[in-house]
Structure 1
Amino acid sequence: MRFKASPIDGDTYPVFFATAPFVSRLRFDYDAPPDDVWSVISGPRMWSWLPTVWGCRYPDGETPGPGTVRDFQMYLDRWLIYAQHERILHWDKGSRIVYTATDATLPFFGSWCEEYSIESLDAGRRTRLNWTLAVRPRYLGRLPAQWVATLLKPAFRFELGALPRELPMR
């Protein structure tokens, strides 16, 4: 069963990043070339360095780009699998990806949008990843969403800090 999300439009995601009630921004530097980091954040193993995440599935034979819908999946418990369809809004191969959720197996998120951009550092020997997550939750009661974003920031930092587990050995 899937719950319909309120996807963000390809032209309006910059406004959503500026106005969403829940916004988290992180910056990470990795001791790896930009192409290696890009292959992780744009590939089928995205987030799979975490114990419960299976990664993303792209449509067979399709080159990812704006309009592509991929399936993200994670295992939460013996009886619960979380999955969401993600439509790519922006794709600059090697440097930037933006996507929005179109539906999910749990009804938590009304609107969800993420951006990953990478910068080359030290003549291509290192990479800086800038990550932004913006959400308009469906259910949060009276709790201000930005408080939740602040509380979750250490968890997001931990999660992105584990990305090197997927990088090629050099």
Structure 2
Amino acid sequence: MAARWYPIEEADDSLFASAPLYHARSVEVPYSAQETWAALTGDGVSSWTKGMKRLTWTSPRPFGVGTTREIEMGGDFILRERFFRWEEGHRKTFSGVEGTRPIFRYLVEDYVVEPTAHGARFSWRWAAELNRPWSFFGQALNRFSFAPVGRSHIDGLPTYMAAQKAAPH
């Protein structure tokens, strides 16, 4: 049976200043900015992010503004995303566009990779507004789902990259 898709209103950077749900996190990575960017634009993201089953890029490489992907989360929830910013090697930002549950009214996520003296810094921001009736449970969903998934996504990157480096190719 085909999934039913619910629209998510596309948003931009202004959502970071106004969203009821917001997260920001950074992590220092002992690998170059180029290697860090490659990990974040590769196919392995779902392997280290809690609750994420699969990431599928639905646009061909090379990626850029307009690139799309699908994220399959636990509970059979699939999210479709479209990138409205793509600065190769440095920054990418997407808006959610559809989901298989009518949870989000707006959803925006921003990734920035910057070189540092000892590798790279990955900074991440996430902002969302939920539809009713989900909005009534926003703080509980935030505490028990959105925040832990975000932490695992950011904090798991260095371990994932170390495992990739150690793996025989």
Contact in 1 for aligned 2:124/2:154 (Cα 8 Å): no
Structure 1: distance between partners of 2:65 and 2:21 = 24
What is the aligned partner in structure 2 of residue 156 from structure 1?
150
What is the aligned partner in structure 2 of residue 103 from structure 1?
98
For residue 114 of structure 2, give the secondary structure of its aligned residue in structure 1: strand
TM-score, with structure 2 as normaliser: 0.80
The equivalent position to 2:76 in structure 1, one of 81, 97, 106, is: 81
RMSD: 2.4
Structure 1: distance between partners of 2:59 and 2:106 = 26
The equivalent position to 2:165 in structure 1, one of 142, 165, 169, is: 169
The equivalent position to 1:135 in structure 2, one of 123, 128, 149, is: 128
Residue ranges of structure 2 left out of the alignment (5+ in a row): none
- Specify the code of the residue in structure 2 equivalent to 1:161: D
Worse overlay, 32-41 or 53-62: 53-62
Residue 3 (1) aligns with residue 14 (2)? no
TM-score, with structure 1 as normaliser: 0.80
Contact in 1 for aligned 2:79/2:100 (Cα 8 Å): yes
For residue 48 of structure 1, give the secondary structure of its aligned residue in structure 2: helix
For residue 32 of structure 1, give the secondary structure of its aligned residue in structure 2: coil
What is the aligned partner in structure 2 of residue 17 from structure 1?
16
After superposition, the C-alpha distances for 1:85-113 in whole angstroms (9 at most, x for unaligned) are 10011001111010011101122111110
Contact in 2 for aligned 1:23/1:146 (Cα 8 Å): no
For residue 122 of structure 2, give the secondary structure of its aligned residue in structure 1: strand
Shift of 1:51: 5.5
Shift of the 52–17 alpha-carbon distance from structure 1 to 2, 3 Å rule, reads closer
- Specify the code of the residue in structure 2 equivalent to 1:21: P
Structure 2: distance between partners of 1:27 and 1:84 = 23
Structure 2: distance between partners of 1:155 and 1:118 = 19
Structure (1/2) with the larger helix percentage: 2
- Specify the code of the residue in structure 2 equivalent to 1:169: K
- The size of the alignment, in residue pairs, is 158
Structure 2: distance between partners of 1:96 and 1:59 = 19
What is the aligned partner in structure 1 of residue 45 from structure 2?
46
What is the aligned partner in structure 2 of residue 34 from structure 1?
33
Residue ranges of structure 1 left out of the alignment (5+ in a row): none
